[in-house]
Amino acid sequence: MNYRPPEIRTVNVTRYVTPLREGGSLPAIVEADDDFLYVLKFRGAGQGVKVLIAEVIVGEIARALGLKIPEIVFIHLHEAFGRTEPDEEIQDLLRASEGLNLGLHYLTGAITYDPVVTTIDPLLASQIVWLDCLVTNVDRTARNTNMLMWRKELWLIDHGAALYFHHSWQNWEEQAKRPFPQVKDHVLLPQATELEAVDAAFRTILSPGRIRTILSVIPDEWLTDVESPFASADEHRQAYALFLETRLAHSEVFVKAAQHAR
């Protein structure tokens, strides 16, 4: 499989188009100075930069594994947007998010994946279930699939709820070795019949070097946030690397748990 290290571009917001009120954190569609539309995830919303960090890590891991992910970009939000927005709730969010945020390329015309309408190949279903077990993504259920059909292909979106251990960093070394019980609610679990084969293939792809290359693109300013328990951005990256490497070394635990749940 050909894989290039992440090259995440930085763009600037030129136009706030509309809020996406489906989510509690009020992401928005914006236009940037490259003339493309993006779904903007705000650093000032909800769980703050931890959601953005999860989006980068999980999105780029998924891309390394050959899964379809909209392009991830860093988006700079100028302070002027907070001054001109008439909606007070949105204004507060914009002003709290000045600086570097995260965006995903807006897939115009995409529709939400519906398991009743579209059946996913067992191999692809197994790949996605394996990924979500690795990164402890609780948000891929029948109620909220966080997958889109675009140009007859399945695309993965919204990984901010993954890596939930990093909201406290308590016992994270032990959590890395645990199964993923929430897999029982995964929308693709019934089709995921190839988990052992996927496990063998994906563990080879996700080498320590590749994981650390992905982690290297996370902005230092996100990793040195005031809530960070680490002394430096490099120490913070090292903790993520150790979590993922430990989880990969014990992948048979979450694979067997997923098979049992299925």
Q: What is the pLDDT of residues 148-190, one digit of tens each?
A: 999 999 999 999 999 999 999 999 999 999 999 999 999 999 9
Q: Over the chain, what is the mean pLDDT?
A: 93
Q: What b-and-e string marks burial along 220-243, b requiring 16 or more CB atoms within 10 Å of the CB?
A: eebbeeeebeeeebeebbebbbeb
Angle 50-54-58 from CA coordinates, rounded to 5°: 175
146 pLDDT above the threshold of 70 = yes
CA distances 253 to 113, 184, 243, 250, Å, are: 29, 14, 15, 6
Query: Cβ distance 102 to 59 under 8 Å?
Result: no
Quick: pLDDT tens for 51-89. Answer: 999 999 999 999 999 999 999 999 999 887 766 667 788
The whole-number pLDDT of residue 203 equals 97
The whole-number pLDDT of residue 43 equals 93
| Helix H or strand E encompassing 131 | helix 122-134
The whole-number pLDDT of residue 87 equals 77
Q: Give dist(CA 260, CA 262) in Å, integer.
A: 5
Phi/psi-derived region of residue 206, left when phi > 0, alpha when psi is between -120 and 50, beta in every other case: beta
24 pLDDT above the threshold of 80 = no
Tell if the pTM clears 0.85, that is, is over it: yes
The whole-number pLDDT of residue 143 equals 92
Query: Cβ distance 192 to 122 under 8 Å?
Result: yes
CA distances 204 to 66, 121, 125, 167, 257, Å, are: 13, 22, 19, 29, 21
The whole-number pLDDT of residue 88 equals 81
Of 51-55, 88-92, 209-213, 248-252, the one with minimum mean pLDDT is 88-92
Q: Give dist(CA 166, CA 170) in Å, integer.
A: 8
Mean pLDDT for 33-53 is 93
